[in-house]
Structure 1
Amino acid sequence: MPLTPAERQNCEACFRKFDKNGDGTLSIQEMVQLIRALGWSPQKFPDSAICDWFLEVDKNKSRSVDLQEFLTVCENRPRTEVNEANLRRTFKEFDQDGSGTISAAELKQALSKCNIKISDADAKSMIQQADKSGDGQIDVEEFLAVFQV
């Protein structure tokens, strides 16, 4: 199933974040870091399994995963159905103070619970991209718009 524009943007951002040396590819070491950052424990997904998976993903046998190979993985991954009800539940989980909006601090904290570490600047940037009203926070409608629901 093709990625939505928002999913593609998220996958590309993830790829760039873990492409530590900026060469446009993920090495096996960078891929292990990405998998661990997603919270996949060594007990459930040992390094040897990551290596095997890496070799499957590396279609051109370059010993690295380029962006297109990575996007193919993203397209083929099992997905939770993204619908308005699921997104509204997620919004409420992110809105920790119950204010009806998500601040950069709340976004950062919510993502950290998913083992996704971002900087304060990245959290602020993500909020700014979705914040159509210009109040520095995301309300539920702005949140839904990110996912085009």
Structure 2
Amino acid sequence: MNNTNENELAGGTRAQNLSLPSELSAEKIQDFQAAFSIMDTQSKGYVATDDIIRVSKSADMKLTKNEAQLLLGSADDDHSNGIDMREFISMMTTPINQQDLEEELRGTFSVFDKDGNGTINANELKRFVRLWDNELTEDEADDMIEEADPDKTGSITYDAFIEFLLHS
């Protein structure tokens, strides 16, 4: 890093003030800072969904908005709709626990499965989609519902819901 003390990150943030795992070396922290800076091209101090998508495209990876939101949402401890450097490093150093992810997704699904029958109707999913992305147009929301319910049954199973969240 240019003219930056190894214990200081861009913007003057000192590494020890980030409550980082003590086993991280100064070099590893600098690597994380460099990766964060690649995504935070406007030096906002946080990375949002669009930043993640842009970086994934430049790496020839296809990452959907839903996948980027899920990725960021799991690390966004302060619910700011973006992750700061501390949250980014925490995300990068925390192993993914499949059981926790499954429980979180089941919990989300059950919020919309009011009668507990294992399905949610398309209108409930549409409400979820609109809450998740309040900038979504009505047509975009309809397209997403169509994708989640391709057979036009009017309801979505848990498996279809998971497929929709992870692959749309």
Larger Rg, first or second structure (1 or 2): 2
Q: TM-score, normalised by structure 1?
A: 0.43
When normalised by structure 2's length, the TM-score is 0.39
**Larger RCO, structures 1/2 (Cα 8 Å, 6+ apart):** 1
